[in-house]
Structure 1
Amino acid sequence: MITPPAWPQLWQPPGAMGWVLPHVAEVNLWHIVLFAVLGLVIGSFLNVLIYRLPLMILRNEEPETTAFNLKTPRSHCPHCQHQLHWYELIPVLSYAVSLGRCRHCQQTISWRYPLVEILTAGLFCLCLLKFGFAWPALLASAFCAMLLALAWIDAETFLLPDALTQALLWVGLIGSAMSLTPTPLMHSLSGAVLGYGLLWMVSWGFEQLAGKEGMGQGDLKLLGGLGAWVGVWSLLPLLLLASISGLIFGVSQKMRGQLGHNGHFAFGPFLAFSGFACFFLGISMGA
């Protein structure tokens, strides 16, 4: 009789991975160059997502005379609307050559574009060194790309699009089921359920006490997606780190008079920062 393999027990912590890069010796220069270039290209696409996806959501209920999506209209200068040629779309290099200005109207181009591209390339290389030149590194890179886009969109627009939070959740669960992430499937499933439920209880409790909504539904979905990647044992450290960093930011903004009239600020970037820390550092309640 064949005995099926036992699933990891929820009460058994996986143990902290720690800040280690176990595959450094297996990675060569060409691997690093490949992941860096891939990161720059994906980072360029993330800039499109960050700019257009919120506009697509906000325009969803309005009648449109012209198509507006991720590919239409073509990339253009936000000031003079000039369509950009292919040589004006090379990640980082085009920005550097043009000195951060449009070649046609000479208006300043946001520093967000090269920064997102560089950050994405750096995160992709970190995934390569962490997981080696294999599928888990690509999946971890997808995690980083989605999380970076979500954090930036929330910081700028207070939106966390379902298209990205749901992708974060399902890619994490599928990756765990295929053993392409360091999180066992039972921990991933439990982390997703508890991640959403934990913030829902906090949000519900705040609403009952204060009589107003304290947290958006997007934050709940984001923590559920993060739970699928880091697992149930990393949820509390993740939420604690996000809450402390968010509290420090909120107090500092309040003291500087920059918090806004409603006292709200985007919590998504702090969840994302904590998600990166728990994923790469292996922060959990396990030994």
Structure 2
Amino acid sequence: MGIVFIAGLAIGSFLNAYIWRLHSGGSVWRGRSYCPKCKKGLAWYELIPLVSFFVQLGRCRGCNQKIDWQYPLVEFVTGILFILVFVNIKQMALAPLWREDLAIVVSWYLLAVLTILFVFDLRYGLVPDEAVLPAIVIAMAYNIILSYGKNPNHNYLLPTTYYLLAVAIGAGFFALQYWFSKGKWLGAGDIRIGALMGAMVGWPYIFEAIIISYIIGGFVGVFLLINGRKKFGQTLPLGTFLTLGTAIVFLYGEQLWRAYWKI
């Protein structure tokens, strides 16, 4: 389990670099990491996930400026997500019929993409196509192949229809809101996240993911109104709540669905 957590920390560190370089226009795959404030190149011992942040007391060794809390938080959360996938894989949306290791890797990848989208929309109000579009294709392809294996008749038509329907519902639900409000309620990126939601959780769990996302967003919105950090009419980054709802349903959708129908 410790190895899984460490792997998650390492991937979380990469996600931080990916987010920063994608936003700043730098190469995602080449070049050394550096402090965004003083531009000092970082040594290997300044890049140890979580450890370097706390050893350096949350400050850059070059300019002594505070390091954004995004970095340790993304690393820690990614580590936790990796563990949750590892211990819960048999109950998840991608519950494997064969090759459990492949299901784990695909799940890690998709949750890493959700993490990127969460941070990117929260900080910059954008949804990068470079992250979301490949994830839609990979989630769709893997889920259809997996559903084919679970189908006793080995029929591609039924699982393909279910996942295409879920993608259409996810994207269509937000596309209608975008069209009706002329882009005032949400952005076009939320439509693409809706498609990813459908591709990841499928039918009928897409409804569950949307509902949970809006419940989370509602609670956060009320909290921000009460403490005065937001006013009526101001928007929230919807994509952050959609990624949270999707992650919850992706990990625990089956259990939540069964629990609901037992009420």
Match of 1:78 among 14, 32, 36: 36
Shift of 1:262: 6.4
Mapped pair 1:102 → 2:73: no
CA spacing shift, 1:79–1:163, aligned 2, 3 Å: same
CA RMSD, Structure 1 to Structure 2 (Å): 2.5
Shift of 1:284: 4.3
Equivalent in the alignment of 1:186: 161
Contact 2:225 2:232 in 1 (8 A): no
* Equivalent-residue separation in structure 2 for 1:164 and 1:140 (angstroms): 15
Instruction: Determine what percentage of the aligned residue pairs are the same residue.
Output: 30
CA spacing shift, 1:261–1:71, aligned 2, 3 Å: farther
TM-score normalised by the chain length of structure 1: 0.76
Q: For each residue in 1:118-149, what CA deviation from the matched residue of structure 2 results, as whole angstroms up to 9, or x when unmatched?
A: 11111111111122761111111111110011
Equivalent in the alignment of 2:105: 138
Q: Secondary structure at the match of 1:235?
A: helix
Mapped pair 1:120 → 2:78: yes
Equivalent in the alignment of 1:160: 127
Q: Which amino acid aligns with 2:219?
A: I
Q: How does 1:1-287 map to 2 (within 5 A)?
A: 32-56=1-25, 68-131=26-89, 134-179=101-146, 184-207=159-182, 213-259=184-230, 263-282=234-253, 283-284=256-257
CA spacing shift, 1:76–1:112, aligned 2, 3 Å: same
* Equivalent-residue separation in structure 2 for 1:245 and 1:159 (angstroms): 20
TM-score normalised by the chain length of structure 2: 0.83
Q: For each residue in 1:49-86, what CA deviation from the matched residue of structure 2 results, as whole angstroms up to 9, or x when unmatched?
A: 22222232xxxxxxxxxxx2224542111222110111
CA spacing shift, 1:182–1:116, aligned 2, 3 Å: farther
Q: For each residue in 1:134-169, what CA deviation from the matched residue of structure 2 results, as whole angstroms up to 9, or x when unmatched?
A: 111111111111001101110111001111111221
Q: Which amino acid aligns with 2:191?
A: L
Q: Which amino acid aligns with 2:171?
A: Y
Shift of 1:245: 2.0
Q: Which has the larger radius of gyration?
A: 1
Contact 1:168 1:226 in 2 (8 A): no
Select the structure that is richer in helix: 2
Q: For each residue in 1:234-271, what CA deviation from the matched residue of structure 2 results, as whole angstroms up to 9, or x when unmatched?
A: 12222122122212322332343322796121001111
* Equivalent-residue separation in structure 1 for 2:205 and 2:232 (angstroms): 34
Shift of 1:214: 1.5
* Equivalent-residue separation in structure 1 for 2:17 and 2:107 (angstroms): 21
Q: Secondary structure at the match of 1:179?
A: helix
User: Which range moves more in the overlay, 137-146 or 252-261?
Assistant: 252-261
Q: For each residue in 1:3-27, what CA deviation from the matched residue of structure 2 results, as whole angstroms up to 9, or x when unmatched?
A: xxxxxxxxxxxxxxxxxxxxxxxxx
What are the ranges of 5 or more consecutive residues in structure 2 without an aligned counterpart? 91-99, 152-158
Contact 1:176 1:182 in 2 (8 A): no
Residues matched between the structures, number: 241
